[in-house]
Amino acid sequence: MRPPVVELSGVSMTYGDVTALADADLVVRRGEMLAIVGPSGSGKSTMLNIMGTLARPTSGTVLVDGHAVDELSDRELSALRARTIGFVFQSFHLAAGVPALDAVADGMLYGGRPRRERRRLARQTLRRVGLGHRLSSEPHQLSGGEKQRVAIARAVLGDPPLLLADEPTGALDSRSGAVVLELLHELHRAGTTVVVITHDRDVSASLPREVHLRDGRIEHDSAAPEQVGA
């Protein structure tokens, strides 16, 4: 049996006298789709960074794809992140003047694949997210929803088992946000594990599992054992 894609055990993160995350226990199993929800300052971004191996916690154990993060070198950690995790952020991170096809293909720039292969895969992935007609479009020619779909295509190009989406609808109008959410659901149905970080209760309520954070602590998890069958 394959291990959970992410497992946090007693994870805490402190910055001086400030506790951003306190004694967090969380298991994300393969194929799940869940929201980590909470107000500003609740610890959501800290949890995202730890789950994504972008930050090492002050204490506790983090397993990603069965690997103990604290036992890996920086190079091993980078390799694990590259093959396991796709990131989507609220601000898109698309370079001005770079067409959508190249923006996505460049996501595999350090994977050792030739340029023609990268572009072929990028073309397929952009079609998968409904942007086959926007391959040559630059960021200023795209709507907010289209920019986010380009960012999602870049994140899932190598078929990582885990997609971490940080406020993916936060910069979008309600219609574009609904399109992006439906795309995340489609990726989940295709087998990707999807974790959405959000402050929007409507977004979190639309997902199968909700994990609520407040003041750095998990105050509610709809998948907690004591709630099963309730």
pLDDT value of residue 33: 97
pLDDT for 115 equals: 85
Domain ranges of the chain: 31-54+83-227
Residue type, 34: L
Task: Kindly indicate the confidence band of residue 13, based on its pLDDT and cuts at 50, 70 and 90.
Answer: very high
Torsion sign over Cα 36, 25, 82, 41: positive
Integer Cα distance of 95 and 159 in angstroms: 22
- pLDDT tens digits, residue range 27-55? 999 999 999 999 988 999 999 999 999 99
Share of the chain above pLDDT 70, in %: 96
pLDDT per position as a tens digit, 91-145: 888 999 999 999 999 877 666 678 889 899 999 999 999 999 999 999 999 999 9
Q: How many CA atoms lie within 13 A of 10 on its CB side?
A: 3
Per-residue pLDDT at 145 = 92
Topology of the domain covering 31-54+83-227: Rossmann fold (3.40.50)
Residue 225: predicted pLDDT: 59
Q: Which residue, 191, 193, 203, 204, is CA-closest to 7?
A: 193
Radius of gyration of the chain (CA): 18
Cα gap 22→225, rounded to integer Å: 20
First to last CA, the chain: 28
65 falls in which pLDDT band (50, 70, 90)? very high
* pLDDT value, residue 155: 92
Q: Give SS3 for 4.
A: coil
pLDDT of residue 92: 86
Q: How far apart are CA 40 and CA 198, in angstroms?
A: 10
> How far apart are the C-alpha atoms of 197 and 91, rounded to whole Å?
14
User: Which residues of the chain form beta strands (DSSP E)?
Assistant: 6-15, 18-28, 33-37, 59-64, 67-68, 85-89, 162-166, 193-198, 209-214, 217-221
pLDDT of amino acid 24: 96
